[in-house]
Amino acid sequence: MKYFSTNDKSIKVSFREAVLNGIPLDKGLYFPEKIPTLNKDFFEKLPNLSNDQIAFECILKFTEKDIDKVSLRKIISETINFKFPCKKLSNDISVLELFHGPTMAFKDVGARFTSRVLSYFNSYSDKKVTVLVATSGDTGAAVASGFHGVEGIDVFILFPKDRISKVQEKQITIHSGNIYPVKVDGSFDDCQKMVKEALTDNDLMSKFNFTTANSINISRWIPQILYYFFAYKELIDSDKNIAVSIPSGNFGNLFSCLVSIGMGLPIKKVIASNNLNNSFTNYITSSCYEPRESIKTISSAMDVGDPSNFIRVAEFFLNDHDSVKKVIDAYSFNDEDTKIAIADLYEKYNYICDPHGAVGYLGVKKHKLLNKDFSYIFLETAHFSKFMDETRDCIKTSISYPDEIEKLLLKDGEYHQINTYSQFKNYINSID
């Protein structure tokens, strides 16, 4: 399996090179030459396979010979060593909980896989790898946890000032050693631009061995494909069509869902659920993609005005807008809608949902009004306590932090603060 650059399909690299480079020099994104498919046999035995077995068969299609099978099994078992429960809320609505990992958001899976794969490739080299990552909150937390103490790897985490939650900031800044948190006076999009600039900056590249742990990197979205296999396993007996609602920001998770469909999963509808950062929703309705400045909302991990995986989503459909619309419906919701949804989920189903999951639920409700005969799954992408203030305001009951978060909040974090790319460059240069 080779991966080409979305800017120039004649540039092709292996899995290993794509992971280690992070981004092609022409600033496109790596994309699988061909989406691999799983055979009928696999789907027949799927109900009886464990999560680890499903993961091995799926991921092997992308890594092929670049990771030996014994090591791949070990990497997988460390990546998904927690539960992915799917809870039925009503006859036709279920919620897939993706927050049972160490930093309580779905980003743990991609970050843990990436850290282990990089460390596997790096074990043959004596040159240090420097990972650059921009975060709207949860990626940074998951990456800090996944990479902390990993030998031979330094990690710079850029997060936007005043735009991530208390818990997220602690999760990013309490590690010392090889983790370098950087607070940026700007938005997530500003952080993402700085990372892309550094990754292709000739001065820096001559000195550092860079890669990224953002969903720019293929190793972030490849393991996320598994969510949809796990979800499908739960609904396998349903006689209705399956629709999945994905609260989306940078569209890495939604792209993973498309790949799972390409591999053979019978998911009929993908619902892109957005907050007011609606560049993608506008693209679906107008066929024009226009990046916007990001707007601050209570589902802050989705405050992305120019989702980097838009290019991959478009490439998946060979840039044909009509084909995109056949599979994906997109809706955008404001904070008021989101708060009402949190209250509604609690009152109707006794389910405490965070603002991101609530946007996913709103996508289900809206689709259901317009369509009949679907079985729905929405993704709960973070535990509500990561967004405690926003969640607590909506439900008329007192909720408290889990013990491990209480303890975390008592710790002191440390970070470096910057405003501009040149300050970022100086900071990287000051560390070796």
Chain residues that interact with ligand PLP, rule: CB under 6 A: 105, 107, 138, 215, 247-254, 301-302, 356, 381-382
| Cα–Cα nearest to 14, from 29, 26, 32 | 32
Both structure tokens of 331:
């809706």
Pick between residue 51 and residue 275 the one whose CB is nearest to ligand PLP. 275
Answer whether 208's CB lies under 8 Å from 130's CB.
yes
**Residue 189: enclosing H or E segment and its boundaries?**
helix 188-199
Distance CA 55, CA 103 (A): 21
Shortest distance in whole angstroms from residue 148 CB to ligand PLP: 19
Shortest distance in whole angstroms from residue 80 CB to ligand PLP: 17
Distance CA 286, CA 251 (A): 18
Answer whether 270's CB lies under 8 Å from 392's CB.
no
Pick between residue 167 and residue 395 the one whose CB is nearest to ligand PLP. 167
Pick between residue 32 and residue 360 the one whose CB is nearest to ligand PLP. 360
Residue with tokens 């952080």: 191
Q: State the Rg of the chain over Cα.
A: 20
Pick between residue 365 and residue 425 the one whose CB is nearest to ligand PLP. 365
Pick between residue 99 and residue 208 the one whose CB is nearest to ligand PLP. 99
Shortest distance in whole angstroms from residue 187 CB to ligand PLP: 14
Pick between residue 115 and residue 122 the one whose CB is nearest to ligand PLP. 115
Shortest distance in whole angstroms from residue 39 CB to ligand PLP: 28
Shortest distance in whole angstroms from residue 168 CB to ligand PLP: 9
Shortest distance in whole angstroms from residue 64 CB to ligand PLP: 25
Answer whether 30's CB lies under 8 Å from 4's CB.
yes
Answer whether 388's CB lies under 8 Å from 395's CB.
no
| Cα–Cα nearest to 115, from 85, 139, 92 | 139
Shortest distance in whole angstroms from residue 302 CB to ligand PLP: 5
Pick between residue 101 and residue 252 the one whose CB is nearest to ligand PLP. 252
Both structure tokens of 151:
């030998």
Number of Cβ within a 10 Å radius of residue 182? 23
Answer whether 34's CB lies under 8 Å from 1's CB.
yes
